[in-house]
Structure 1
Amino acid sequence: MEGDTDNQSYELLDSGGGRLLERLGAVVSSRNCSSAWWRRRLPGGEWRKAVDIKRELQGPLNLRIGALRFLLSPQGGVRSLAPELQELWGNVIANCTAFADQQRRPARVLNLFGGSGGFTLAAARAGAAVAHVDASSDAIKRAREHAALNTLASRDIRWIVDDPVKFAQRERSQTTRYDLIVIDPYVSKDAKRGGFEMERDLAALLSTVSGLLSDKPVGVLLCCRQGAVSPTTLQHLFRQEFGVFGGAVETGEILLKGAAGVPAVPFGVFVSWCKAA
């Protein structure tokens, strides 16, 4: 993006010993990560340079993660921005761009559990029309700020404060259909955050989502970043629900990556169904 400098970007510097070492613009910070069991690559002196961002930052920091920009809040921390999703954001940009080239119209994208807005920003950047749904009005506010930061505020984005599952159920009775549907659920006991439980709710949600697809779909993407969910389980669910439409199902790890030599850190699994062109 024009005007970007290294002083505005995110980078994973090292991992291990149950922690991550990250560069957040000009600030180096460390946070807990239970999946980083291995030994650290950098010496202890480098790790001791890490500061507490809640104390170091006096206000939101303009931070570039991959191709997108976010406001890093001292209270929310980098975890809320999900830098581990940047490769999947890139896939969404590529898929929506390819769809527009082939179909001669913008892709219609539904982003359920939209959070800080990474998938919405990626789709909008590729010219897609996006419905961004989240149960939290605060999350919607932050995502809209991120859209403005990326000069996407004027794009075709519907910001919807609603329970994502209930919204999808009601949308079945409407005429709008979507070419790409992204599901990135947060597992929470807070009713305001949807209270989604994978084992209880996912199969029913996928059944609802299958009825929201257009006649020329790109596909469906599901991210499971909380709790232990087998990729085989997800693969079976996706084949069961979307196999009737043809296409292919792919599963893989969600990995936070750094430069060469920095151990990639697992943050869950994803499954995607893609309808072949």
Structure 2
Amino acid sequence: MKESILSLCPSHWTDYELIDTGGFEKLERFGKFILSRPEPQAIWDKSMPESEWRSIAHAHFAKEKNNPEKGQWQEFKRIPHNWQVAYKNPHGLDLTLNLAMTSFKHIGLFPEQAVNWDYISETLKTFPIAKPKVLNLFAYTGAASVAARACGADVTHLDSVKQVVTWSKHNMESSKLDGIRWIVDDAMKFIKREQRRGNTYHGIILDPPAYGRGPDGEKWILEEQINEMLKVCSEILDPEHHFLILNMYSLSFSSMIAANLIRSNFPKVDNAEHGELYLVDKFEKKLPLGIFFRFRS
């Protein structure tokens, strides 16, 4: 298996900016609005003084002491509950994405994933297939699904949370698209059914959390189940024209683990790339935000 080891950072995005990082926080601009949020990877000092962070931020997420993923937003300036940002790349991809401040610090968008939206767009344009089938698992608010649909793919979007599937529909409609197939289900159960049915996909996108629950309480633990999931994915990925993207955010995982998982489960992998996803703040500090592995035929 020939492979490239890369670090990938989005560029050319006027509606997003990582302003500063440090002190276990990050300061970001999404469109017109600036937010400060917890960031466990930012273990260094901030480049800007705390007073400047607070003076320019519209809102700050204050986490609970006993649950770092949950808390509440403190608003310093007027900010709408919902707003939109645009993502356009030089190759014609044009998305409109809806954002909102949630009680789990997330706002409906992971900016570092823009490099994968570009990859999906570039790859689908090379396929000699009128309507490639793409499956997006653990799809969250669906920017990758919308990117694939914008390139003419027949997209199946799956998440276990009904509310984020509804959010994804809004992203599709705001991007002036339609036709995505929406599934609220447990990812493992769904792909095993697809395997039994003999269904295949030209593209599979996996963005699993470290821990999660299916709609009926099914337990997901990344390190215990990702190997089995990739085994099943190898059976439903079209053998001739295909791509696969695997993202993992576990702090204990390296991209070498992802490479070993792919080697173990896919008999032939071409044009493989793996490494880190990251963002760069205005002071040139690089913030790592997960690992990836991707390949295409």
- CA distance in 2 between partners of 1:23 and 1:241 (Å): 40
% identical aligned pairs: 27
Q: For residues 66-97 of structure 1, give each alpha carbon's deviation from its aligned partner in whole angstroms, at most 9, with x where no partner exists.
A: 55322111226555311121111111111111
- CA distance in 2 between partners of 1:18 and 1:189 (Å): 24
Residue 113 of structure 2: aligned partner? 85
Q: How does 1:35-184 map to 2 (within 5 A)?
A: 35-48=41-54, 49-52=56-59, 54=73, 55=75, 56-65=78-87, 67-75=94-102, 77-99=105-127, 103-152=128-177, 154=178, 156-184=179-207
The Cα shift of 1:43 comes to 4.4
Say yes or no: does 1:17 pair with 2:23.
Answer: yes
Q: TM-score scaled to structure 2, two decimals?
A: 0.80
Q: TM-score scaled to structure 1, two decimals?
A: 0.86
Q: How does 1:26-41 map to 2 (within 5 A)?
A: 26-41=32-47
The Cα shift of 1:125 comes to 1.2
Query: Which amino acid in 1 is paired with 2:260?
Result: H
Query: Which amino acid in 2 is paired with 1:21?
Result: L
Greater relative contact order structure (CA < 8 Å, 6+ sep): 2
The Cα shift of 1:227 comes to 3.8
- Aligned-residue Cα RMSD (Å) equals 2.2
Query: Which amino acid in 2 is paired with 1:71?
Result: N
* Partner SS for 2:284: coil
Residue 239 of structure 2: aligned partner? 215
Q: Is the 8 A contact 1:72 1:78 kept in 2?
A: no
Distance 1:118 1:257, change over 3 A: farther
Number of aligned residue pairs: 262
Q: Is the 8 A contact 2:100 2:108 kept in 1?
A: no
- CA distance in 1 between partners of 2:44 and 2:58 (Å): 22
The Cα shift of 1:23 comes to 1.1
Query: Which amino acid in 2 is paired with 1:157?
Result: I
Give the unaligned 5+ runs of structure 1. none
Q: How does 1:227-238 map to 2 (within 5 A)?
A: 227-238=251-262
Give the unaligned 5+ runs of structure 2. 1-12, 61-72, 89-93
Distance 1:157 1:194, change over 3 A: farther
Q: For residues 146-193 of structure 1, give each alpha carbon's deviation from its aligned partner in whole angstroms, at most 9, with x where no partner exists.
A: 1111111x2x31111111110000001224311110100123354437
* Partner SS for 1:211: helix
Distance 1:21 1:179, change over 3 A: same
More strand by share: 2
- CA distance in 1 between partners of 2:230 and 2:111 (Å): 25
Q: For residues 33-83 of structure 1, give each alpha carbon's deviation from its aligned partner in whole angstroms, at most 9, with x where no partner exists.
A: 111123333344531221326434332111235553221112265553111
- CA distance in 2 between partners of 1:268 and 1:200 (Å): 18
* Partner SS for 2:141: coil
Distance 1:258 1:111, change over 3 A: same
Query: Which amino acid in 2 is paired with 1:28?
Result: I
Query: Which amino acid in 2 is paired with 1:74?
Result: M
Q: Is the 8 A contact 1:113 1:183 kept in 2?
A: yes
